[in-house]
Amino acid sequence: MKLLHTADIHLGITTFGRVDPETGLNTRVLDFKRSFEFLVERGLEEGIDCFLFAGDAYRTADPTPTQQKVFAECLRPVAEAGLPIVMVVGNHDHPVTFGKASALDIFGHLDGDVHVFDQPESAVIETPAGPLQLLAMPWPIRSKILSKTEHQGKSPKALREFIEDRYTHFIEQKAAQMDPSLPAVLAGHFSVQGAEMAGSERTSLIAHEPKFTAGDLGPAPLDYVALGHIHQHQNRAPDGAGGPPVIYPSSIERVSFKEWNEKKGFVLVDIDADGAEEAGDKSTQHEFVETPARSFVALRVDAREAEDPTEAILEEIEEHDLSGAIVRVRYHIEEAQVTDVDTRRLREALSAAHAVASLERDVDPAERERRTVVTRDSTLEDALRQYVAQREELASIEDDLVETLAAHFLCFDSFPFLLHPPPQRERRRPDRYDPPQGRRHRRSRRRPHCRLAARRRSPRRHRGR
């Protein structure tokens, strides 16, 4: 039995895009459409028996009609081929408010063999290769749980632990009821402990989500665990670790420059259950297929020692193929080189790129000599030594200068106030509670900042106005 496993399409992201004059759509939307069509075409060429989508179809839970149209057009060849489509609701598919429909619910009412799961459920999916046992584990919807009286008032930690216990128990219970001779798959959308985050994902947010171990998700007789939510391709249960593969397929397109060097794609799965009587008689093979995702090129140039910083940056640009790419250039220069960088020439050299995200410069400020600071307590010798300390050319004759200065003023010992000025008598402002000394001590009053404040402070003075 052959499966196509994908997730985290996030159709609707338009960052670094522009309007395509032929279609009127944002070019980034067309990028996602191209990668989506590629994976569908490749899956049909491979003769897949089922299409597994593990959540997060759109950027938000309320996609535009255009985004829904593009998504449906991409899935149409699978439905027309008569193949089952399994869709598990992700966190970006479901609105926060309890009772509202998810962004995937509409597909369950369309023509074709489409199965949409928004809550934990076990099912048997009929495929051209025979029945597929499925455990659907969508994103846990907290609003639905908190709508029940017994869970209201629970702390975030208690709620997370409840979800983890409920999901783990459900998987164990349903897996024990499965036929070990038939292919069995778990499709879910959540985090696995130890998963490597993609560059665009915020670890601080994922840290507070329910997490599961690979062992929690892969009890016998499961043959494959198809996950979504993490955008980096990885197997959390490598070969030899025991249990089925626990796979994140990655997203199909890059979202930001934090993912510029990450591969994007999907996974083709082949479960061999012919003649199997027990779970150990089956075997699972999986292959990562890279999509034609638009390339992100991040250039970093250190031109501080270059005679012509513009030429140094242009040489780095020429070494990369930027045609159709989204490019970011960061260059490091000295403050004196700022005016030597010709940004117009740099942008001309980047004209082959699909978009220039930014031209960012990192400038080292020039060192400025600090002026000699002389205070009332400084002696003449202190002032001279501070002056010499800021001039390296005078360092070797510092003592000679001090002696010459002493001879000029006859001798420092003859004028002790030059070396040690008399201490200044401390002047203290009289405290408001000190008794009057010779003359009346008037309390200082804050000047009212507005006429209203003046009225509040002394109402009698303004009574007749």
Nearest to 144 by CA among 155, 159, 134, 165: 159
Domains and CATH numbers, the chain: 2-290 (3.60.21.10), 296-364 (no CATH), 374-465 (no CATH)
Task: List the structure tokens of 133.
Answer: 């046992």
Q: How confident is the model over 223-263, as pLDDT tens digits?
A: 999 999 999 999 998 766 678 999 999 999 998 999 999 99
Task: List the structure tokens of 282.
Answer: 């089956």
Nearest to 332 by CA among 363, 367, 311, 306: 363
The reported pLDDT for the residue numbered 207 is 61
CB of 134 closer than 8 Å to CB of 86? yes
Q: How confident is the model over 114-141, as pLDDT tens digits?
A: 999 999 999 999 999 999 999 999 998 7
Which of the two residues, 403 and 453, has the higher pLDDT score?
Answer: 403
The reported pLDDT for the residue numbered 409 is 59
Please give the backbone phi and psi of residue 139, each rounded to the nearest 5 degrees, phi first: -60, 130
CB of 54 closer than 8 Å to CB of 226? yes
The reported pLDDT for the residue numbered 412 is 47
Distance from C-alpha of 454 to C-alpha of 143, rounded to nearest angstrom: 54
Which of the two residues, 415 and 310, has the higher pLDDT score?
Answer: 310
Element (H, E) at 88: strand 85-88
The reported pLDDT for the residue numbered 242 is 77
The reported pLDDT for the residue numbered 452 is 55
Q: Give me the half-sphere count of Cα atoms (radius 13 Å) on the Cβ side of residue 350.
A: 23
Residue tagged 């996974």 (tokens): 267
pLDDT above 70 coverage of the chain, percent: 80
The reported pLDDT for the residue numbered 279 is 72
Arithmetic mean of pLDDT over the chain: 84
Give the confidence band of 417 by pLDDT, cuts at 50, 70, 90: very low
Residue tagged 């897996």 (tokens): 175
Q: How many other CB atoms are there within 10 angstroms of residue 75's CB atom?
A: 21
For residue 460, the one-letter residue type is R
Nearest to 135 by CA among 165, 112, 161, 169: 169
User: Would you give the DSSP letter of residue 154?
Assistant: -
**Residue 24 neighbours by CB under 8 Å, 6+ apart:** none
- The pLDDT of 379-407, averaged and rounded, is 74
- The pLDDT of 79-106, averaged and rounded, is 84
User: 380-389 and 398-408 are packed helices; what angle lies between their axes, rounded to 10 degrees?
Assistant: 150
Query: Sign of the CA dihedral 254, 258, 264, 269?
Result: negative
Give the confidence band of 438 by pLDDT, cuts at 50, 70, 90: low
Task: List the structure tokens of 281.
Answer: 């008689």
pLDDT above 90 coverage of the chain, percent: 58
For the ranges 15-29, 47-61, 422-436, the lowest mean pLDDT is seen at 422-436
- The pLDDT of 29-55, averaged and rounded, is 97
Has residue 387 got a pLDDT over 90? no
Task: List the structure tokens of 439.
Answer: 């003359």
Which of the two residues, 442 and 129, has the higher pLDDT score?
Answer: 129
The reported pLDDT for the residue numbered 137 is 96
The reported pLDDT for the residue numbered 399 is 75
For residue 259, the one-letter residue type is E
Distance from C-alpha of 224 to C-alpha of 169, rounded to nearest angstrom: 18
Distance from C-alpha of 204 to C-alpha of 207, rounded to nearest angstrom: 5
Has residue 209 got a pLDDT over 70? yes
**Residue 22 neighbours by CB under 8 Å, 6+ apart:** none
Which of the two residues, 121 and 462, has the higher pLDDT score?
Answer: 121
